[in-house]
Chains A and B, each alone.
Chain A
Amino acid sequence: MNARVEFDNPVGMLANDNNEPMILLTRMPIDDATLTQQVRRPGCGAVVTFLGTVRDITGERVTVALDYDAYAGMAESKLAEIEADVRARWPVGDVAMVHRLGRLEVGDISVAVAVSAPHRVDAFDACRHAIDRLKELVPIWKKENWADGTSEWVHPAKAE
């Protein structure tokens, strides 16, 4: 509907030194194994990858699919800010964040965040911070398509 997000895939990326995309909005399935490999570094003894996946039941309602939309340019800019914030606060080796857009079905991966660090505590904390900030700040929205045929955009009163 919005020409701004009717993009080819991948829609945009910030790449690392090896030209691998580390921040990405995509309409294609997320390859979490490749993402995890991309952040591995010889100096990092810990890698944490968080996956957000489409849940079948919310409360008592049954989800058949989610539609994700984004304000793509700002979303990429905010993801880059979060990456910079994570790098400033933890001694991370690398950070990768990918969010999928478009129609997703139950079980599909909607978001992946991978972080490497020398030790596990920093890797866990940095990954947790990155996904928490993503859910607060990044202009991406999901529409629930319920089993009863109705649908609604999700605009939470507070962070989930």
Chain B
Amino acid sequence: MHPIRVLVFARLRELVGRDVVSLELPLPCTVGDVRTTMIEEFPEIEPLLSRSRVAINDEFAPDAAAVTADDEIAIIPPVSGG
């Protein structure tokens, strides 16, 4: 198992009560695994997480994308800039 840091923002940050979450995941794993583990740890975020995108190193990534130890993972809830 490896520690994976996941950045969260806006309402997600309020729901989890911190701006970075540390997950323990086997490597290699996928974005989908990160989603599943986040919901296990924080069931209350599921409705918003299901509408959120995940970014790896500043790029949106599909659920099948592989996560490696040095990646910066961020959960991007629907954006409202402008």
Q: Which residues of A contact B (CB under 8 A)?
A: 1-4, 52, 68-71, 73-75, 77-78, 99, 110-111, 131, 134-143, 152-157, 160
| CB-based contact B19/A2 at 8 Å | yes
Q: Is B65 close to A, CB under 8 A?
A: no
Q: How far is the CA of A160 from the CA of B82 in the complex (A)?
A: 10
Q: Which residues of B contact A (CB under 8 A)?
A: 7, 9-11, 13-14, 19, 48, 51, 55, 58, 74, 76-82
Q: How far is the CA of A29 from the CA of B19 in the complex (A)?
A: 26
Q: How far is the CA of A140 from the CA of B19 in the complex (A)?
A: 15
| CB-based contact B82/A111 at 8 Å | yes
Residues of chain A contacted by B80 (CB below 8 angstroms): 140-142, 153-156, 160
Q: Can you name the residue of chain A whose Cβ is closest to the Cβ of B18?
A: A1
Q: How far is the CB of A134 from chain B (nearest CB, A)?
A: 6
Q: How far is the CB of B29 from chain A (nearest CB, A)?
A: 21
Q: How far is the CA of A104 from the CA of B16 in the complex (A)?
A: 25
| CB-based contact B13/A139 at 8 Å | no
| 7 residue pairs A–B, Cβ–Cβ below 8 Å | A139-B55, A139-B81, A141-B79, A155-B51, A157-B51, A160-B80, A160-B82
Q: How far is the CA of A135 from the CA of B78 in the complex (A)?
A: 10
| CB-based contact B78/A156 at 8 Å | yes
Partner among A73, A131, A141 whose Cβ is within 8 Å of the Cβ of B77 = A141
Contact of A70 with B81 at beta-carbon distance under 8 Å, contacts A2-B19, A77-B58, A139-B9 already known: yes
Q: Can you name the residue of chain B whose Cβ is closest to the Cβ of A131?
A: B82
Residues of chain A contacted by B19 (CB below 8 angstroms): 1-4
| CB-based contact A137/B79 at 8 Å | yes
Q: How far is the CA of A111 from the CA of B80 in the complex (A)?
A: 12
Of A78, A110, A138, A139, most buried by chain B (CB within 10 Å of CB) is A139
